[in-house]
A and B are shown apart, each in its own frame.
Chain A
């Protein structure tokens, strides 16, 4: 190619006219989405758990608004059953990226009777009410989530801008078409929009980006020794939330976590992966998809995710 720019300057080498690399293209798309939301919504908020997807999201938000600070708060719905390593990391990362963090607590709701503990002890399904209350109380009209379309079949049809009614519900049969890079965030009072800047990222993209950008993660994403037991085919850590049951064998194993959600429903995988490169080999070779492997709450039923999304869970 010998295209020249109009000012009559030296010809641009063909290399400079190459398309963006995969990670540049994904990063730019996410940054574009962040900027659109900040410019067109009154009170956006970003969900932040300290999990790898939310950390990548925070890193991208920081890049989107540089050299100005991130113009919205972070929100964590703490189930009360979070890994302590992750909570420490959550606070450090918020400070590192110069963002303010608010915490909504499922435990508070249980303590004062607004929510009741489920018979199976799982708290992820209980997040919906404190989340929707926090959205209403903060008058948030846009809520960023780290969901990716490759995670689960129901997510494959989610829009990047996903309109929710006053009950936070998602209506998969009635979504706005999304064309070009023209994102439509108009909504009625009481409605809000869930925004997924990582929609087009896959799990491997997230890991590649973490490595390329040197993004720090909570330690439990990498191999460490832990007391675990094999329960329903999943390696469950022995914690106050998930104590050992009668007849179970407990052993110390080298494990890591692929997602760092609620301790009551997040299992570990046996692993010796201590670097991103190891993790990528492991993730790529693994015969299990991320959610199916380690999230007990996705095993509740074939359409579990779709049901919770309809109810307002992310």
Chain B
């Protein structure tokens, strides 16, 4: 690691070339953004793996490196402890644990990575659920000497529940089992079976030594039997198209845009000219895509209209895909306000006051039947009552089985439960299985605004052992 301290002309030249290539890729819009999460316990070497990814992609700068080298020496270590790169808060440094999800950034010419680093141990569900909610890829770690353990099973269940499209198992500390192909194959097989049982879409296992750097960014010469990608190689080649782009169109309206004056701002020279009658709907495409001429349904009212403009201050677009913030104009004036959802005309979600779903309870304030909460869904906020708790997920399952639901009359911190909520007003909620955006919701404490739970509507994406008695999509309201 000493090499970063002395400027080396060849290395500098290479870095300049890389930097300018990255800049060009970014300016030309060739670089995409990939969100990933990592989960595992400190003992599995997760911090070291993340540190290694940052270090080997040149995302760590010398003063940071200096400070961790000093800290490592103080701890009596011979070399810089890469795990220290990811220690954020003083309480964590003092206690040698990580408390909360931390976000890290690294980039290559092709992709920029936003990494949600989820600590194990304390509040593992809360943290993993948070990190997995936005992740396109989740990297789980196991210690090659131990194989797939209880915590891996739990993390994998959460990944299945949150519908993370791609799951990678880093079989770490492979150096401590003499780079054994047999050990790796056994763990990889266990993992693949488990992933399939739980309903994970896509999984892959990679043998690594985070400490030595084998197969993290650089291919290991010590495991010639492994011909798959390194961890970074996997991240670089995995299909980066978000699930949301393939889903049908959903657009929660954030606000109605009525400037009520004509004119052009000096900073927006490329913007279309706007007259005083302009009326548009600002929002982010939650799923699918939208183009001029398409018919949409406005929910909850159910009225129909055609899109006549997909506007941005950079000029109009022909098509906007999931993730894009735009202003939509319709061909007629309708009663549309914040909280409404514009959807495709062919498969709009049903309105329901009876919201059935799976919730991950994120706070130590318990909930029971009769609890009053607020449901934040899309851009709307609705009062609700917990009508029924159908069961709590038992994640203490062994390798040959799957999680089960056990009955419970309350939900506490880190519980994953099936609930039925009665809403004060009907909402257009999609099944989470089909829509990660408009199928998700959070529960909020009515009194002080605290975030109580993460919710996924409809049948659970996680495969469980006992058939879920309420495994049906929420029923439409009859009016």
Which residue numbers of A lie inside 8 Å of B, CB to CB? 3, 5-7, 9, 12, 16-29, 31-32, 35-36, 38-39, 59, 62-69, 96-98, 149-150, 153-154, 156-157, 172-173, 175-182, 184-188, 199-200, 202, 204-205, 208, 211-212, 277, 280-281, 284-289, 292-293, 302-303, 306
Contacts and interface: CB of A to CB of B under 8 A. Distances in A.
Contact of B321 (A17, A23, A182, A199): A17
A186 B293 contact: no
A153 B71 CA distance: 14
Interface stretch (B127-135, B173-181, B189-197): B127-135
Contact of A277 (B20, B105, B242, B255): B20
B112 A292 contact: no
Q: In the complex, which of the residues A62, A186, A292 has the most CB atoms of chain B within 10 Å of its own CB atom?
A: A186
B62 A287 contact: yes
Interface string B331-365: 00000001000001111000000000000001000
Given A38-B255, A62-B265, A292-B61, 4 more contacts: A63-B268, A67-B257, A205-B26, A285-B16
A20 B322 CA distance: 8
A5 B32 CA distance: 24
Interface string B14-33: 01100110110011011111
Contact of A199 (B103, B327, B448, B454): B103
18 contacts: A5-B289, A18-B241, A22-B31, A23-B29, A39-B379, A68-B258, A69-B259, A172-B89, A172-B99, A173-B99, A177-B130, A179-B442, A182-B377, A208-B26, A280-B23, A285-B12, A286-B61, A289-B61
B33 A212 contact: no
Contact of B325 (A5, A31, A157): A31
Given A66-B265, A202-B105, A212 B319 contact: no
B384 to A, nearest CB: 15
Given A17-B245, A22-B26, A281-B20, A157 B107 contact: no
A96 to B, nearest CB: 6
Contacts of A208: 23, 26-27
A12 B126 CA distance: 40
Contacts of B445: 186
Interface of B: 4-5, 7, 12, 15-16, 19-20, 22-23, 26-27, 29-33, 61-64, 67, 86-91, 99-105, 107, 111-112, 114, 126-127, 129-130, 133-134, 240-242, 245-246, 248, 254-255, 257-259, 265-268, 271, 274, 278, 282-284, 289, 291, 293-295, 312-313, 318-319, 321, 323-325, 327, 338, 344-347, 362, 374, 376-377, 379, 436-437, 440-442, 444-445, 448-451, 454
A28 B286 CA distance: 11
Contacts of A286: 61
Contacts of B324: 20, 24, 28
B255 A98 contact: no
Given A32-B254, A281-B19, A211 B100 contact: no
A204 B59 CA distance: 11
B64 A292 contact: yes
Given A62-B267, A67-B257, A280-B23, A157 B100 contact: yes
Contacts of B126: 177
Give 6 nearest A-B pairs by CB, closest first: A186-B449, A21-B29, A287-B62, A31-B325, A284-B19, A28-B325
A219 B241 CA distance: 40
Given A17-B241, A156-B104, A157-B88, A188 B448 contact: yes
A98 B265 CA distance: 8
Given A5-B291, A19-B240, A66-B265, A180 B134 contact: yes
A288 B61 contact: yes
Given A22-B31, A28-B323, A28-B324, A293 B63 contact: yes
A289 B259 contact: no
A26 B90 contact: no
B65 to A, nearest CB: 9
Given A6-B345, A208-B26, A19 B242 contact: yes
B90 A25 contact: no
B168 to A, nearest CB: 19
Contacts of A36: 254, 379
Contacts of B27: 208, 211-212
B73 to A, nearest CB: 15
Contacts of A156: 86, 88, 102-104
A28 B271 CA distance: 17
A177 B362 contact: yes
Nearest to B98: A157
B133 A96 contact: no
A308 B241 CA distance: 40
Nearest to B84: A153
Contacts of B347: 6
